[in-house]
C-alpha cells in the first residue's frame, strides 16, 4: 500500500521524487523518505515521520543527484517513525532499498544477518532486504545479480527499488505481488508503484509481471526473471490526463470525484449500449453467446466497496438474467478451499486492479481451471492481465482513499453485464429497451442529486456529532446501506452499522434511541409499504430518521428526507447511493477529518 518512485537521468532526481511521492501519498502517509546517489559519490538520505510536505521541508537545497528512489509509507512492521521510514540502508550505507509488501520470513532472516554482523536500525521487515543485498554485493558483482540472489532467500510479497552508491548508473526494481511500473522518458527513466506518479513526465509505461525484475538506466531498461532469463516487455500508452490528479478547484479530491460521476458514468457507458437490439456490447468479455448461455452461476469477488458493488451487481444479474449470482469477500475466498465449478463465471472487482487479496483469489480460480472476468479501472493492471477477459471502467483516476466514482462505475458495469446476459437469456426486448433508456438517463439524474450538495451539507452538520448511525435498506437497498455505512466509517470515523430493514426487529432495534439516528433507504418500489412500517417502528422508539427516498414519507415517520430522482427499480440503488457519499463527505468535513487520507487506511491494498 506504500508509494514507490525512482528516477535516473541527466536531471536532479529530488524534484521528481518529491512530486511523485506527493501524487502517491494516497497509498500511504505516515512517513516518507528519499535517497539519491550524489554526483561525487555516496548516498544522501532524508526520511521523516509525517507527510511528504514534512519531508520536502527537511530536504536541503544541495540534496542533488541524478539517480534516486523515494517512498511514502503505510505502516505494517513497526510504528511510524523516522527510523522505520524508507529508504533503508545496509551498515556500509552503500545499498538503499524502498519496499512495498511484506517479507514473511523477515524474523528468521534478521536472526541470521545479525549473527553475520548486520546491525539493524529499524523494526521493519524491509531493512532485511538492504542487508541481504549488501551481503551479495561483493566487489565486481552487478547490482542486479545481488538483488536476484537476495530475493531468492525471501518469502513474501514485494515491489522494490534498489540503489547502489557504487553503481549509480542503474536502479534495479522487482515485483512479486506488489505493482511496479516503468516510465520511459527521453534519455531518462522513471519507476513507480502507480502510473499517477509518472503521467506528468511520460505516457509510455511498462508493467512488470510477478517474479520479474528490471535494470533501469537513463537510456533504457532490461527486464528479466529471477533465474536471469531475459524477458520482453512492450510499452503501453497511458491515456490519463495530468489534470485528473489535481483537485480542480474543489476543496478535496473526494468532493471532486463525487462530482465527476456523471462524466465517469458516461465513459463507462460509452460505445457499449446497443439501442437496436436493446442490449450491451461487451467485446472484452471474450465470451460468445453460446458460451454465455452455458453459464449457470456467477460469483463476484471484491474487497471493501468493491465487495458491496459486487452485491449490487449480483442483484442486477439475478433480476435481469435470472442466473443465480452471489458476491463474497475476496479476502476470505481462497481460505475456504472453494469448489470451482466449470459452469460458474467468476468476476473479480478492483478499482486499482492490484488488490492483493483479489489477485490471489483470481490466481486460485485459474489454478483450478475456472474462468474469471475482471471489472477494473486501471488498464494494464495485474488483475486485468491475469483474467480471461473483462470490463474496464474508464472512470478515470481516483485519488481519494474512499471510492466513489469507481464504485458507481463498477455498478454501471455490472448493469451492462446483466443486460448483456439477460438479452442472451430471457430478458425481453421491451425490458431491454427499458434498461437501456434508464442507463442513458443516469448521468443527468446524478447531476440532479449533486445539486443538493449544500442542503446535504447542512443536514450532515446537524448529525455529525451523533455517537453512531444505523443504515437500513431492503433487498436492492441493503448493499447500498452497507456502502453508505462504510463511507461514513472510513472518512468521518463515526461508528456506523448496516442491516437489512427486515432484520431490525430481530435484534438491532435494541440500539435505537435519540442518540443513534437511522439512515433509511425508501425507494418507491414494491417494498415501500414494508419500509414505511419499519420507519414507524423506529419512530415509536424515539429514533431519528433520515430517509433517502423518491417521495417524502409522512412527517410523523421521518425527521429529514433527501429526495432522489426515480430510475427503473433495478437501477434505483445507483442513485440512492449518491446522497450517502455526500452525507459522509460533509459529516467528515464538519468534524475536521482528513477526508482524502483517513487514518489507518490506504488506497491500494497490495498486502494481505
Using DSSP's 3-state secondary structure scheme, residue 42 falls into coil
**Positive or negative: CA dihedral 34, 37, 40, 41:** positive
CA distance 384 to 390: 7
pLDDT at 38: 77
Whether 170 is covered by a domain: the verdict is yes
Whether 279 is covered by a domain: the verdict is yes
CATH classification at residue 184:
3.60.20.10
Indicate whether 409 and 462 sit together in one domain.
no
pLDDT at 241: 67
Indicate whether 421 and 380 sit together in one domain.
yes
Whether 439 is covered by a domain: the verdict is no
What's the full length of the chain, in residues? 608
Q: Does the annotation mark 2 as catalytic?
A: yes
Q: Which of 463, 438, 433, 428 is nearest to 579 (CA)?
A: 463
Alpha-carbon dihedral of residues 108, 111, 116, 120, nearest 10 degrees? Answer: 110
Can you tell me the mean pLDDT for 129-154?
Answer: 93
Assess contact for 125 and 160: CB atoms under 8 A: no
Assess contact for 313 and 407: CB atoms under 8 A: no
pLDDT band for position 252 (50/70/90)? very high
Q: Which of 301, 400, 455 is nearest to 603 (CA)?
A: 400
Of the residues 200, 215, 240, which one is the last residue of a structural domain? 240
Tell me which of 2, 303, 387, 561 is the catalytic residue: 2
Whether 433 is covered by a domain: the verdict is no
Indicate whether 263 and 168 sit together in one domain.
no
pLDDT band for position 27 (50/70/90)? low
Whether 295 is covered by a domain: the verdict is yes
> What values do phi and psi take at 142, rounded to 5?
-65, 145
> What would the pLDDT profile of 403-430 be if each residue is shown by its tens digit?
999 999 999 999 999 999 999 999 999 9
Whether 555 is covered by a domain: the verdict is yes
Indicate whether 399 and 505 sit together in one domain.
no
Indicate whether 10 and 105 sit together in one domain.
yes
Can you tell me the mean pLDDT for 366-375?
Answer: 96
Kindly report the average pLDDT of the chain as a whole number: 93
Q: Are strands 204-207 and 181-184 parallel, antiparallel or unpaired?
A: antiparallel
Domain coverage including residue 521? 450-600
Q: 449480483: which residue's cell?
A: 314
Q: Which of 295, 302, 286, 284 is nearest to 361 (CA)?
A: 302
Q: Is the pLDDT of residue 139 over 90?
A: no
> What would the pLDDT profile of 278-332 be if each residue is shown by its tens digit?
999 998 999 999 999 999 999 999 999 999 999 999 999 999 999 999 999 999 9
pLDDT band for position 586 (50/70/90)? very high
Indicate whether 293 and 218 sit together in one domain.
no
Q: Which of 390, 410, 384 is nearest to 398 (CA)?
A: 410
> What would the pLDDT profile of 433-458 be if each residue is shown by its tens digit?
999 999 999 999 999 999 999 999 99
pLDDT band for position 270 (50/70/90)? very high
Using DSSP's 3-state secondary structure scheme, residue 342 falls into coil
Q: 552508491: which residue's cell?
A: 165
Indicate whether 146 and 14 sit together in one domain.
yes
Indicate whether 139 and 251 sit together in one domain.
no
CA distance 390 to 376: 8
pLDDT at 285: 93
Q: Which of 191, 161, 159, 192 is nearest to 176 (CA)?
A: 159
Tell me which of 299, 489, 597, 603 is the catalytic residue: 603
Whether 441 is covered by a domain: the verdict is no
Indicate whether 229 and 288 sit together in one domain.
no
Q: Is the pLDDT of residue 370 over 70?
A: yes
Q: Is the pLDDT of residue 240 over 80?
A: no
Can you tell me the mean pLDDT for 169-180?
Answer: 93
Indicate whether 173 and 88 sit together in one domain.
yes
Number of Cβ atoms within 10 Å of the Cβ of 15 = 14
The answer for residues whose C-beta is within 8 angstroms of residue 231's C-beta and 6 or more apart is 209, 212, 223, 224, 225
Whether 296 is covered by a domain: the verdict is yes
Q: How many domains does the chain have?
A: 3
Assess contact for 490 and 401: CB atoms under 8 A: yes
CATH classification at residue 269:
3.40.50.10490
> What would the pLDDT profile of 498-551 be if each residue is shown by its tens digit?
999 999 889 999 999 999 999 999 999 999 999 999 999 999 999 999 999 999
Of the residues 194, 222, 240, which one is the last residue of a structural domain? 240
Of the residues 240, 257, 274, which one is the last residue of a structural domain? 240
Indicate whether 105 and 227 sit together in one domain.
yes
> What would the pLDDT profile of 386-404 be if each residue is shown by its tens digit?
999 999 999 988 889 899 9
Indicate whether 221 and 293 sit together in one domain.
no
pLDDT at 243: 66
Amino acid at each position: 500500500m506504500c508509494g514507490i518512485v525512482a528516477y535516473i537521468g541527466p536531471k536532479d532526481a529530488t524534484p521528481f521524487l518529491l512530486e511523485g511521492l506527493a501524487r502517491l501519498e494516497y497509498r500511504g502517509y505516515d512517513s516518507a523518505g528519499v535517497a539519491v546517489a550524489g554526483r561525487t559519490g555516496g548516498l544522501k538520505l532524508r526520511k521523516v515521520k509525517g507527510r511528504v510536505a514534512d519531508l520536502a521541508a527537511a530536504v536541503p537545497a544541495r540534496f542533488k543527484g541524478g539517480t534516486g528512489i523515494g517512498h511514502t509509507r503505510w505502516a505494517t512492521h513497526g510504528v511510524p517513525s523516522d527510523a522505520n521510514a524508507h529508504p533503508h540502508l545496509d551498515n556500509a550505507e552503500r545499498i538503499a532499498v524502498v519496499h512495498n509488501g511484506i517479507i514473511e520470513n523477515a524474523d528468521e532472516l534478521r536472526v541470521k544477518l545479525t549473527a553475520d554482523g548486520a546491525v539493524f536500525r529499524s523494526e521493519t521487515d524491509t531493512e532485511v532486504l538492504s542487508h541481504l543485498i549488501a551481503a551479495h554485493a561483493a566487489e565486481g558483482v552487478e547490482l542486479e545479480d545481488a538483488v536476484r540472489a537476495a530475493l531468492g532467500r525471501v518469502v513474501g510479497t514485494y515491489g522494490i527499488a534498489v540503489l547502489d552508491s557504487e553503481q549509480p548508473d542503474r536502479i534495479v526494481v522487482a515485483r512479486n505481488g506488489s505493482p511496479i511500473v516503468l516510465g520511459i522518458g527521453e534519455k531518462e527513466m522513471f519507476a513507480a508503484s502507480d502510473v499517477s506518479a509518472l503521467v506528468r513526465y511520460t505516457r509510455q509505461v511498462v508493467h512488470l509481471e510477478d517474479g520479474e525484475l528490471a535494470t533501469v538506466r537513463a537510456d533504457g531498461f532490461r527486464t528479466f526473471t529471477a533465474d536471469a532469463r531475459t524477458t520482453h516487455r512492450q510499452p503501453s500508452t497511458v491515456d490519463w490526463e495530468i489534470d485528473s490528479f489535481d483537485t480542480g478547484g474543489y476543496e478535496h479530491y473526494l468532493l471532486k470525484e463525487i462530482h465527476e460521476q456523471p462524466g465517469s458514468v458516461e465513459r463507462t457507458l460509452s460505445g457499449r449500449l446497443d439501442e437496436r437490439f436493446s442490449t450491451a456490447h461487451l467485446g472484452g468479455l471474450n465470451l460468445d453467446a453460446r458460451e454465455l448461455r452455458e453459464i449457470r452461476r456467477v460469483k463476484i469477488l471484491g474487497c471493501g466497496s468493491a465487495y458491496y458493488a459486487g452485491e449490487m451487481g449480483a442483484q442486477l444479474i439475478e433480476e435481469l438474467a435470472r442466473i443465480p449470482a452471489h458476491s463474497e469477500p475476496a479476502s476470505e475466498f481462497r481460505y475456504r478451499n472453494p469448489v470451482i465449478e466449470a459452469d460458474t463465471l467468476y468476476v473479480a472487482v478492483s478499482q486499482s486492479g492490484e488488490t492483493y487479496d483479489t489477485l490471489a483469489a483470481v490466481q486460485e480460480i485459474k489454478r483450478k481451471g475456472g474462468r474469471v472476468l475482471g471489472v477494473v479501472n486501471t488498464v494494464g493492471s495485474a488483475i486485468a492481465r491475469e483474467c480471461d477477459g473483462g470490463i474496464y471502467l474508464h472512470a478515470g483516476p481516483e485519488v481519494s482513499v474512499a471510492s466513489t466514482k469507481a464504485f458507481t462505475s463498477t455498478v454501471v458495469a455490472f448493469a451492462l453485464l446483466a443486460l448483456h446476459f439477460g438479452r442472451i437469456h430471457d430478458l425481453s426486448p421491451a425490458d431491454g429497451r427499458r434498461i437501456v433508456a434508464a442507463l442513458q438517463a443516469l448521468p443527468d439524474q446524478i447531476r440532479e442529486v449533486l445539486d443538493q450538495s449544500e442542503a446535504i451539507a447542512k443536514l450532515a452538520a446537524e448529525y455529525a456529532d451523533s455517537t453512531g448511525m444505523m443504515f437500513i435498506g431492503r433487498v436492492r437497498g441493503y448493499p447500498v446501506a452497507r456502502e453508505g455505512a462504510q463511507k461514513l466509517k472510513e472518512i468521518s470515523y463515526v461508528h456506523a452499522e448496516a442491516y437489512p430493514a427486515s432484520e431490525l426487529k430481530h435484534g438491532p432495534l435494541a440500539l435505537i434511541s435519540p442518540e443513534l439516528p437511522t439512515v433509511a433507504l425508501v425507494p418507491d418500489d414494491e417494498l415501500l409499504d414494508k419500509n414505511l412500517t419499519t420507519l414507524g417502528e423506529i419512530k415509536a422508539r424515539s429514533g431519528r430518521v433520515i430517509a433517502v427516498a423518491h417521495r417524502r414519507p409522512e412527517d410523523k415517520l421521518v425527521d429529514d428526507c433527501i429526495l432522489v430522482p426515480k430510475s427503473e427499480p433495478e437501477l434505483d440503488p445507483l442513485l440512492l447511493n449518491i446522497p450517502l457519499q455526500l452525507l459522509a463527505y460533509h459529516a467528515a468535513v464538519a468534524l475536521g477529518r482528513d477526508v482524502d487520507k483517513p487514518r489507518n487506511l490506504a488506497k491500494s491494498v497490495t498486502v494481505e
